[in-house]
Structure 1
Amino acid sequence: MVVPETKPVISCIMPVYNGDRWLKIAINSILQQTFTCFELIIVNDGSTDGSGDIIDAAAARDTRVTVIHQPNQGIVAALNAGLAVARGKYIARMDADDVAISTRFIRQLAIMNADPRIMILGTGSRTIGPDDSSDGATAPETTEKIRCILGNNKTNRFPPSILQVLHPTTMMRTDCIRAIGAYSEEFEHVEDYDLYLRASSAGLIAEIPEILMLYRIHGNNISVRKLHEQEQNAARCDVVRVRDNRQARGLRRQRISGPTFAGWVGIRRYRRERQLGLAQTRALYDAGLLALKGALKTSPSVSLHLLARCAWYLALDLGPWRASGKPGGTGSSARDQDKAFS
């Protein structure tokens, strides 16, 4: 049995709802971290499968595990319940279906301790399928210097630009997350993106470009099932948070018409679907037409930005590098595709 220090440095929060299929692997990948001064707060959000028994068994064998059993209230309530009892200087996120590489905490901690400007730090990840049983415990120790990508946050104009990191890879400063009001239920399925936009006003978002998380893709991922709903809510979040940031800084409010907003939703959906090989160029034309239609009742800088983005994506789709896999090709990341607008 591992006995924790008096006060943990890291509080890892894992919300669980009917996650018994991969839950043991996820828990073990945290308990086998090379950095050991942490607490693992598992919030059982009203599971009806065997998750509760698995969680209680983990707590019985390792005193670093704290368990919260609550009626089903959704992921935001579960995350905030964990945050309310967290004792660590840092919050680490973990999902019940993913696998953390054993050196994840120690690599993130080194960066967070060295640079107080960083409020949220993500890591690189590799996708795995539903049948991958790796426990993440075999990652070799390394003395290689840690590289870090700092986000170029621009949240005072629409559409905002931030470094978007994979939520379950993040480590965050506890005092910052509490100061901004924790997670919000205002924008369903994009509570992480909303948190990033609010936290970016306090400091930097960054990422370690190392694979320190195995991200499991299966048929029940929210990012797959609720893609269109996510992008609709993320676009609403963009409007509200930019408005709030501009108001707080005494900046003039930007005008965004209904057609312009619909065009931005279309662009966001296209960008996501493009990564899955689903997006059609026609959808991008439609988004551009909506941006044009709403231009007279929209701030010129907003309309120009959206039209420029449409033109950029069209160039990527129709250019000679379309299938090259180079930045801009179909194999590139959203970050590569959007580098002209960061």
Structure 2
Amino acid sequence: MSAVPEHLRKVLAVVPTLGERTDTLGPALASLTAQDGVECTVVVVAPEDAVEARRIAVAHGGLVVDDPGRGLGAAVNAGIAAARDERYFAWIGDDDAMRPGGLRTLVGLLERAPDAVVAYGGCEYMNHEGHVFAISRLGRLATWVLPWGPDLIPQPASLTRLDHLRAVGPFDESLRFVMDLDMFLRLRRRGRFVSTRHPVATYRWHPDALTVANRDLSIHEAEQVKRRHLPPPLAKLAWAWDLPVRTSIRIVSRRLTAKARP
């Protein structure tokens, strides 16, 4: 990475928070500010009354942006709007973390593939006690199944070129659970995705996570999003694979929840 000009290594990292997980927000921000080989601008999107979360953000050198109060998609869009001259975009939850060297690895993937729009890596699954109980590292397979199968690209372990993100428009604020899937499908039309199986981020799996606690609603929303991105002839045949995909997602989700228990 030393050969890459400094202005090409600037990353905008957005961390939306409601201010309810102040115990994990600090470590999440610290994992971003400690990244080497890149210049990381951390933007924390929080409600005005989330006083402690805002204090933690400032203590870690983060820029605080007001949450518009229209859901997760709107919060991420508000964070992106604070971008200056950054070249790349990352987004993690307030209880996730970027592994040491994770952003450097993802930037390197994109710099070696000028035609790529998204880079992603493996992702560790951690329970609320900090124990890693599973690792997602499917590599290129995750890109292949994206249009019709489950979304296996870990959002915290992904990095997107900001110019392509702006070209396809903001995150869909009408979506409650799968705004990242919709964005990936839009970006997929602009260029290829590159990946590594090496873990670059950590995702905290717990029963009250938005998509975990609302699995059936999340599955239904994902099916609707995938249909609107498919060519009309294929969209009419989606019922043929929706049921097995739906079943597999539920089975894997239950197993991960069981493993996440102490």
TM-score range, shorter chain: 0.7 to 0.9
CA distance in 2, matches of 1:161, 1:270: 11
CA distance in 2, matches of 1:273, 1:174: 33
Partner of 1:28: 30
TM-score, normalised with respect to structure 1: 0.63
CA distance in 1, matches of 2:68, 2:89: 23
Q: 1:223 to 1:179 in 2, by over 3 A?
A: same
Partner of 2:52: 50
Q: 1:236 to 1:132 in 2, by over 3 A?
A: same
Partner of 2:112: 114
TM-score, normalised with respect to structure 2: 0.81
Partner of 2:16: 15
CA distance in 1, matches of 2:189, 2:71: 27
Backbone CA RMSD of aligned residues: 2.9
From the CA coordinates, give the structure whose radius of gyration is larger.
1
Q: Is the 8 A contact 1:127 1:214 kept in 2?
A: yes
Select between 65-74 and 18-27 the one with higher mean Cα deviation: 65-74
Superposed CA offset, 1:183-217 (max 9, x none): 11243200011111111000112321111212111
1:92 aligns with 2:72: no
**1:28 alignment partner, SS class:** helix
Q: Is the 8 A contact 2:33 2:60 kept in 1?
A: no
Select between 17-26 and 160-169 the one with higher mean Cα deviation: 160-169
Superposed CA offset, 1:57-96 (max 9, x none): 223xxxxx22102343211011111111213111012221
Higher strand share goes to which structure? 2
1:271 aligns with 2:251: no
**1:29 alignment partner, SS class:** helix
Superposed CA offset, 1:5-36 (max 9, x none): 88971111111112212001101111111124
CA distance in 1, matches of 2:253, 2:14: 29
Q: Output the amino acid matched with 2:244.
A: I
Identity across aligned pairs (percent)?
20
Structure with the larger RCO, 1 or 2 (CA within 8 Å, 6+ apart): 2
Q: 1:150 to 1:202 in 2, by over 3 A?
A: farther
Partner of 1:191: 179
| Structure 2 unpaired stretches of 5+ | 1-5, 133-138
| Structure 1 unpaired stretches of 5+ | 60-64, 135-147, 247-251, 279-330, 332-342
Q: 1:152 to 1:40 in 2, by over 3 A?
A: closer
**1:164 alignment partner, SS class:** coil
Q: Name the count of aligned residue pairs.
A: 243
Q: Is the 8 A contact 2:70 2:173 kept in 1?
A: no
Partner of 2:156: 168
1:231 aligns with 2:219: yes
